[in-house]
Structure 1
């Protein structure tokens, strides 16, 4: 039987090839005037790649089953420190998503990134099979690649913690080679009636392209060495939650407002800048706001989407805590709340997402904020598979105040987490922004 590592690597390569063939087939089908031979050739290529993946997937599953059987058949050696209930403990982690991730990071940190030593530490802590069964492989630059199933589990936990990634309907696109390009549409498909021999109307027209390229999101989590050696579920949760919370906050900050560079994505706020969509969908708050003007400005955002044939009923609001509190407390002349549904996280029958990643200190006076209304199904987030983690007890890092700290002198181990992704809009007019918002400002 082939080595399980090699089989998994081959399956990943086959999956990437199948994704590429699927994209190629889609591109051919989207081309105006594509020949039947071209479509048939692309279809055959995809089907061949699909069969190859299915074959390798079957081989991996058989090898995993055989490995699991061998692990179950091996009795703990005397003096190994492995408890009788080791395997049940690891199995129980599956009941709480992400717990294996936290335990894996903690054990690998305790082992200094040494896989063999990590196996022994896990066994000594009653977690036999945590590292061996998950098959953590050595990565580049001293890091490790978190196993695919554990990484996917963590990403599924990360998405709802992020405002942007947690929006229902957002399209997650795999980027096997770190890049993805698709034609952007200015409107939906075009249909019409005609005579028998009339040309059929083109199904939509191009308005540039949305190009996604992998941008590296990285973060450092310092953990006390006094805690790393503790075989504690609470500690595993803390490692997991720190990684998820920090990664979600960083992703939101960039997905919402990053200006867009070679190393950072262009946030939703700036996707429209420099396009014709800016004139209709980047709006300014009406001066000297009162109850009627506030209501009208919210309606202007909805109308911007509706005029572009975007379903505004499925849109979501994104705003700062200050603006959200203002709308929650806003009352009419009779003392009644104008938007009572804000207490339930909704505004004008649409969900509201509140985040400090929308600032309140914009503008010349430093008291302005912004509100975004977005249609999630037009948001595309490209993801490059794999999550890389590196550990160091000697490196330095900067704390929240910008001061340089030494992990060695503070008796800490640093975990560096790296993921790669990008964000784009398939339809530019699916986002509307109200700028210069002073609602609730003192």
Structure 2
């Protein structure tokens, strides 16, 4: 197997040299005599190495076919002929993605070296169906099956996608769909009386792919270790960081040319701004808190939307206040908060809803009907690695990956968010519940 790996690496190097010679010639130019001589020599060398590789691979296949089963270890009962084998446990989702990231990082971003490392570690098919030449720093596009698996894991980690919005593909990076602004107005009429012609009026939801990107620093000490625990840690770090960034924009994105307009701002500048964006009642107590929550539900109900299927999103401070709030008899006002429910609707808690808005102590609560939320996805996941790049940590301090012995993993996805019905989100602003 070591000889096969070495021969494959040799072929990759020869082909790279041949490609370099061809690339050095203009589109309408021919190879010089010297270049043609070099190219012919490399082609002959590649043919020779290819023959040796074919011979070595044929020998390896024959050796595998002639191999005999090893004797069972002491204390281990050999399987009985005809008896069905115990089915293998399904592979844990996301670990293939993490192994790919760890392998390309260990290879220093060199594609054919990553393939060799994967082959040596028994992961020969790890890079079989992917293009690793898509980025200058070892970037590569994650294969579609692995990309889908990672996105599937990301969805429950993100507050917005955990609600179960409508996921729609955007193969061209854009999607325009109609949304109903008003419905048909029917009325009773008498015999032989003209019926008024009424109909729907429509608006449009326009989604355009926005690039979500994040950088995750990973210790090279971890990357040098080959274990499932390390793969799981890499996967979890990537998912946690991606979910945080995604929620930041899906919830409160300003809606620039490069960032999605979050659910908080969808109704701004529309007639629903006056009915669906409301302010907390001053000097809150249990009755006022209950009334404010009811006002948010009523905003959806008055728009003929089933608010019983809506989801709450709030900051940890607000959630803790509602969890601890008691009535005059000392009973918990909302005991279901301990089970992640409020007024029979799921509660999603995220730090991406700030507690320092307004005068510095205000927060917000959103009530979202997920079946009217559209999330358009343009592509899978693009990964790039670097051991030399610099990055800013959480405090904004510039760090150098090289001096810290780290590998930087940059993940990019493209998507956008919109509402099929603008009335599907109500917002309570100026919330000081739980503020000191």
Moved more, 93-102 or 135-144: 135-144
- Superposed, which structure 2 residues align to 1:390-405 within 5 Å? 390-405=384-399
Between the aligned partners of 1:227 and 1:381, the Cα distance in structure 2 is 35
Conservation of the 8 A alpha-carbon contact between 2:369 and 2:424: yes
- CA shift for structure 1 position 326: 0.9
Are residue 308 (structure 1) and residue 303 (structure 2) matched? yes
Conservation of the 8 A alpha-carbon contact between 1:257 and 1:268: yes
Distance 1:190 1:249, change over 3 A: farther
Distance 1:73 1:350, change over 3 A: farther
Are residue 120 (structure 1) and residue 116 (structure 2) matched? yes
Conservation of the 8 A alpha-carbon contact between 1:339 and 1:347: yes
Between the aligned partners of 2:382 and 2:272, the Cα distance in structure 1 is 38
Larger radius of gyration: 2
Task: Could you tell me which runs of 5 or more consecutive residues in structure 1 were left unpaired when the two chains were aligned.
Answer: 1-70, 79-83, 85-90
Are residue 171 (structure 1) and residue 155 (structure 2) matched? no
Residue of structure 2 in register with 1:10 after alignment: none
- Superposed, which structure 2 residues align to 1:132-211 within 5 Å? 132=128, 134-142=129-137, 143-168=139-164, 170-187=165-182, 201-202=198-199, 204-206=200-202, 208-211=203-206
Residue of structure 2 in register with 1:434 after alignment: 428
Between the aligned partners of 2:416 and 2:340, the Cα distance in structure 1 is 28
SS at match of 1:112: coil
Runs of 4+ in structure 1 off by over 4 angstroms are 71-74, 91-94, 187-201
TM-score when scaled to structure 2? Answer: 0.76
How many residue pairs match? The answer is 356
Residue of structure 1 in register with 2:207 after alignment: 212
Conservation of the 8 A alpha-carbon contact between 1:113 and 1:144: no
Are residue 342 (structure 1) and residue 352 (structure 2) matched? no
Task: Could you tell me which runs of 5 or more consecutive residues in structure 2 were left unpaired when the two chains were aligned.
Answer: 1-56, 65-69, 71-86
Residue of structure 1 in register with 2:401 after alignment: 407
Distance 1:348 1:257, change over 3 A: same
Distance 1:406 1:232, change over 3 A: same
Distance 1:293 1:217, change over 3 A: same
- CA shift for structure 1 position 387: 1.3
- Superposed, which structure 2 residues align to 1:234-273 within 5 Å? 234-273=229-268
- CA shift for structure 1 position 138: 2.5
Residue of structure 1 in register with 2:91 after alignment: 95
Conservation of the 8 A alpha-carbon contact between 1:94 and 1:100: no
SS at match of 1:386: coil
Between the aligned partners of 2:318 and 2:98, the Cα distance in structure 1 is 36
Residue of structure 2 in register with 1:108 after alignment: 104
Residue of structure 2 in register with 1:421 after alignment: 415
Between the aligned partners of 2:159 and 2:345, the Cα distance in structure 1 is 15
- CA shift for structure 1 position 112: 2.3
Are residue 358 (structure 1) and residue 353 (structure 2) matched? yes
Distance 1:135 1:327, change over 3 A: same
Distance 1:189 1:314, change over 3 A: farther
- 2:320 is matched with which residue: 296, 316, 325? 325
Between the aligned partners of 2:186 and 2:207, the Cα distance in structure 1 is 30
CA RMSD of aligned residues (A): 2.6
Distance 1:92 1:130, change over 3 A: farther
TM-score when scaled to structure 1? Answer: 0.75
Conservation of the 8 A alpha-carbon contact between 1:192 and 1:201: no
Q: 1:88-129 deviations in whole A, cap 9, x for unaligned?
A: xxx979521111000111111111232221121012122232
Residue of structure 1 in register with 2:7 after alignment: none
